[in-house]
Chains A and B, each alone.
Chain A
């Protein structure tokens, strides 16, 4: 463990220098040449060097539902650049614990699945150590295991990320989009990634929720290498799963804490929802009782007039 980290640090430091040297020394860059060096900087057009070294820690709280755990495992299989860790006790101090854990695993972001009451799933999406963090409520969960979802794709191929344009409206959506692209996009030339693209993620905002879908790209009946414009029309998508729907609750300034930057004004906690439901059920009985007493009061206040024919037959 410690050894690994050391290695990472060692690699991290000389990157910049090496790049400069490399860019001077080597006129030709081949994929394999760089791979041997274990450093693959890409030169941008204007000379700045960018390399995506995103690493995501994926973990969950204890006492998580099997369904939600499966969802988490599905995501782990979709993100080759992630590290799965043991369950974490979801206490008030979980933020600190998680931050420590993320640092320990030398990750740069974290997906934390927090299950409460065995039924509500919250997803924390955080950039560590000082990025923002977002808390979502997860809804409408379907896991990959469901037999209705018939697609399949390479393990570790880089996904295409498609966003609906309404992500570019408000700053909080922009921020969420940026976070999603960084966390869900597999880094280019990641060692576990495959050089092909055969699946596509959908992130779409509908009704202030983010809907997630994962489709396999398939092109029937043609040798895939010679896909042409005509073949473009034949492209079909098969859903692979999982499915879920994210409802943003809050955005914090720090990772797992810090000042609140955004609060969903429409959000109602599931607890509240359940309470409402319960109270309404209770209200049904109260209403009945109240109606009864009201009727009684009404009858008392407006007594019937004595019937003039009441004892007509008694006299005879």
Chain B
């Protein structure tokens, strides 16, 4: 709640300075004057009261007597309540000033409520009492719209802030995850070793083998995560296409011609040079050789 004082504002100090400036004795730096201007908001005011201002005390009281209502007028006519202000309000402190005014109003309402209740008169309007309001519905719609917009703005800002923080946190989280994974793996290996030892000690050597296999398979599977056989090192499709082919057996024929298959066979993306190099896997891979071909060759030789 910012109150903007309308009209220009000049401090009393400045007013005083002005008098001095005529003979150029007083030197006020511009910045000083400006800061004063901002500080003394109320400053349309003389420092000292002017001497020759009129104050006709009798006249005022006389007039007051003339216009005032009879003493015994019921409170219902006036509806006025006096509230004592605890402390002097600093006018330039917007927040405190508004608070003081608000508390005055609230206190007044409470007192009035007590009075109304004791008199048995209605106070607030019942909820089903509809009548013309001071502000039109149109206007209130606008007010509501503004409130909603503000709320939305705040929420959006909050979201943005959260996203930013998450981004910051992301790296740490990632590092944490890797660490955890490594730890888990280590633990598993450890537990297997321990278990194996126990088995050996207790003498179940036959069954041991099968169990071992099961565990080793698990380990092997983990390893395969890193490097899949039959996938070129530069293949960014990760050999997924080949797996996909294996999954859908019904549509296997169709898919062989599909993009996925081609990608898996010839590779997709990545550096070409790396893909075309032989690796240990490819040299050991004998899938490309056809056994029947070799038999034909033999026949031909004969």
What residues of chain A have their CB less than 8 Å away from a CB belonging to chain B? 42, 44-46, 48, 50, 52, 77-78, 119-121, 127, 130-132, 139-142, 144-145, 147-148, 150, 152-168, 171-172, 174-175, 178-179, 181-182, 185, 187-188, 194-198, 200, 202, 204, 206-209, 211, 213, 215, 217, 219, 223-225, 227, 232, 235, 237, 240, 243, 247, 251, 253, 259-268, 270, 273-274, 276-277, 279-280, 283-284, 287, 290
Contact = CB atoms under 8 A, between A and B. Distances in A.
B74 A172 contact: no
Contact of B112 (A77, A150, A197, A268): A197
A157 B129 CA distance: 12
Given A44-B72, A213-B101, A196 B125 contact: yes
Contacts of A259: 56, 59
B178 interface: no
A178 B64 contact: yes
A213 to B, nearest CB: 5
A4 to B, nearest CB: 23
Contacts of A206: 88-89, 91, 97, 100
Contact of B61 (A142, A171, A240, A270): A171
B92 to A, nearest CB: 9
B124 A161 contact: no
A165 B82 contact: yes
Contact of A161 (B49, B70, B81): B81
Interface residues of B, number: 88
B9 A273 contact: yes
Contact of B54 (A141, A215, A247, A263): A263
B5 A196 contact: no
A262 to B, nearest CB: 6
Nearest to A199: B134
B120 to A, nearest CB: 13
Given A171-B60, A225-B126, A148 B1 contact: yes
A34 to B, nearest CB: 15
A154 B134 contact: yes
B50 interface: yes
Interface string B57-96: 1011101101111101110111111111100110100000
Contact of A276 (B15, B74, B81, B129): B15
Q: Which of B33, B100, B104, B143 has the most CB of A within 10 A?
A: B104
Contacts of A211: 97, 101
